[in-house]
């Protein structure tokens, strides 16, 4: 999940506004809670749990709500029977309007019970929060979308625009079967739509639980891994030489650490930085103004880049994440490798990034592109037909909270819909804490009030865009 897009909201930390309300105990919340709880407590870690089981559970609830087999498709492949998903379709009354797709992923990052204070696959309510792996990423949104589709059917809502739901597997694991990619390539008729509402946006709360800002993701970086490898004949450690695979690799990684990719702006990041100027303290705000005029202003870059999220929003970034070297404690290393994870700015390419990394690595270290090579995201337009309902409903549900367009510095399954020319928007609605709620880490949690408030907002947004 692209939690970084929510982290960018820290730039607007000065806009502490209305406090969050507590969730109401409405009658319609119990079925949603039951769906959410069942989904969270179904282990969907790739190669450990089963997305297929979670998809079947949701499909059962949707059939009970009135969806027929014609409009409900469970899918998987023989090679990946536990990595399945579900697509549901609510036909619209006006075919000329096309469709919209509600997208979420069922899989979650692995969680070890010994590391957690609580069982990661049991929903625990404590101190105004729900704790569990996937409580946020991405089972909150997946449950909200499934619940919205169920409520539409129960309320006999007949949208003008066809509404589609796709809940898939594989988003959290680079080398896993990816259901979103499979659908786009093999069953495009199931998911083809005029636009997609996806994860990647959100909202930020301050330490006291007050709302600060909402973000709509309009574009994202591409995630790509590269392997750095140094090889050497090795030998006995009692007779070392400077020609050492570990040292060669270390030198290459230090050059990567010291290199800054050039600053780039997109329409989205320009809009974000322009909206941030009033909230950011001096000298950061003044430095941003200078960079927007001259991206090569190194002194301004140094000021803005003190903030790691702003730094990442300005450029492609590459960082070493895994290292493996040597074969024995008393032998010179024969091989040393590292994984370098890059987040590539829209408009730049994997091939161009590879060339720069090879240059940095030097002649004694090889650099190769890891498979799979994910598509480069195409930033969607700041379409008023999307942006205006987002802002209007935000004013209704979260009065006084600004909505800011942002580029995610992470990556989502939205990249796979570029081949279908489908713009993807990471919608706001779910407010997170300043520490991003332990997403991908220990003791993931979501504020209970934020979950139900986000459910209400996203239901209204989906309904409004379908009318």
pLDDT digits (tens, 9 = 90+) for 149-167: 999 999 999 999 999 999 9
Give 305's contacts (C-beta < 8 A, 6+ positions apart).
260, 311, 314
Q: Are strands 129-131 and 124-126 parallel, antiparallel or unpaired?
A: antiparallel
Q: What is the pLDDT of residue 69?
A: 94
Each residue's pLDDT tens digit, 266-318: 888 998 899 878 767 889 999 999 999 999 999 999 999 998 889 999 999 99
Containing 231, the helix (H) or strand (E) segment is strand 222-231
Q: Using CA atoms, how far apart are residues 123 and 130, in angstroms rounded to an integer? A: 6
Q: What is the pLDDT of residue 20?
A: 40
Q: What is the pLDDT of residue 162?
A: 98
191: left (phi over 0), alpha (psi -120 to 50) or beta: alpha
Q: What is the pLDDT of residue 452?
A: 97
Q: What is the pLDDT of residue 208?
A: 87
- For the domain covering 4-220+377-466, report its CATH number: 3.40.630.10
Tokens of 260: 């800054």
Query: Cα separations (Å) of 383 from 144, 148, 393?
Result: 24, 23, 16
Chain centroid to Cα 157, Å, comes to: 30
Q: Using CA atoms, how far apart are residues 1 and 426, in angstroms rounded to an integer? A: 11
Is there a contact between 446 and 135 (Cβ–Cβ < 8 Å)? yes
Q: Where in the chain is the domain with CATH 3.30.70.360?
A: 222-260+316-375
Q: What is the pLDDT of residue 2?
A: 54
Q: Say how many Å lie between the first and final Cα of the chain, rounded.
A: 29
Q: Where in the chain is the domain with CATH 3.40.630.10?
A: 4-220+377-466
* Paired strand residues for 228: 338, 367
Q: Look at the alpha carbons of 39, 105, 71, 217 in this order and tell me if their dihedral is positive or negative.
A: positive
Over the chain (467 residues), what is each successive 10-residue block's mean pLDDT?
46 41 72 98 97 98 97 97 98 95 98 96 97 98 98 97 98 92 98 97 88 90 94 96 97 98 93 82 93 97 92 96 97 98 92 98 98 84 94 97 88 92 96 90 97 98 97
Q: What is the pLDDT of residue 8?
A: 45
Q: What is the pLDDT of residue 3?
A: 46
- For the domain covering 222-260+316-375, report its CATH number: 3.30.70.360
């Amino acid at each position: 999940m692209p939690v970084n897009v929510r982290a960018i909201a820290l730039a607007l930390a000065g806009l502490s506004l209305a406090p969050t309300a507590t969730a109401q105990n409405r009658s319609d919340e119990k079925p949603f809670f039951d769906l959410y709880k069942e989904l969270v407590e179904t282990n969907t870690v790739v190669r450990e749990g089963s997305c297929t089981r979670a998809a079947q559970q949701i499909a059962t609830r949707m059939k009970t709500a009135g969806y027929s087999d014609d409009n409900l498709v469970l899918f998987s492949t023989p090679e990946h029977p536990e990595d399945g998903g579900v697509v549901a379709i609510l036909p619209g009354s006006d075919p000329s309007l096309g469709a919209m797709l509600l997208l979420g992923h069922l899989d979650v990052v692995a969680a070890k019970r010994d590391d957690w204070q609580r069982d990661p696959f049991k929903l625990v309510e404590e101190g105004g929060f729900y704790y569990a792996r996937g409580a946020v990423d991405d089972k909150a949104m997946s449950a909200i979308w499934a619940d919205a589709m169920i409520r539409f059917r129960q309320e006999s809502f007949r949208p003008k625009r066809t509404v589609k739901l796709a809940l898939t597997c594989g988003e959290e694991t680079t080398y896993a079967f990816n259901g979103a990619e499979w659908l786009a390539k093999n069953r495009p008729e199931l998911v083809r739509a005029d636009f997609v509402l996806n994860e990647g946006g959100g909202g930020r709360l301050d330490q006291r639980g007050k709302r600060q800002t909402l973000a709509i993701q309009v574009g994202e970086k591409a995630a790509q891994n590269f392997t750095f490898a140094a090889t050497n004949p090795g030998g006995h450690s009692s007779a070392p030489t400077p020609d050492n695979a570990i040292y060669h690799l270390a030198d290459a990684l230090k050059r990567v650490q010291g290199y800054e990719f050039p600053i780039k702006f997109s329409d989205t990041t320009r809009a974000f930085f322009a909206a941030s100027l009033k909230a950011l303290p001096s000298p950061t705000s003044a430095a941003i103004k200078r960079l927007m005029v001259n991206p090569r202003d190194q002194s301004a870059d140094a000021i803005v880049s003190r903030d790691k999220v702003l730094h990442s929003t300005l450029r492609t970034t590459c960082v070493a994440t895994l290292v493996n070297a040597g074969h024995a404690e008393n032998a010179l290393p024969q091989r040393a490798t590292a994984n370098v994870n890059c987040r590539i700015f829209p408009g730049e390419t994997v091939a161009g990034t590879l060339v720069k990394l090879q240059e940095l690595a030097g002649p004694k270290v090889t650099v190769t592109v890891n498979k799979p090579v994910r598509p480069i995201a195409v930033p969607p337009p700041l379409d008023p037909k999307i942006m205006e309902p987002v802002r209007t409903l935000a004013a209704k549900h979260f009065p006084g909270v600004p909505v800011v367009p942002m580029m995610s510095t992470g990556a989502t399954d939205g990249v796979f819909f570029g081949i279908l020319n489908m713009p993807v928007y990471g919608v706001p609605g779910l407010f997170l804490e300043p520490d991003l709620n332990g997403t991908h880490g220990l003791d993931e949690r979501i504020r209970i009030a934020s979950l139900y408030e986000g459910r209400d907002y996203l239901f209204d947004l989906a309904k409004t865009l379908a009318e």
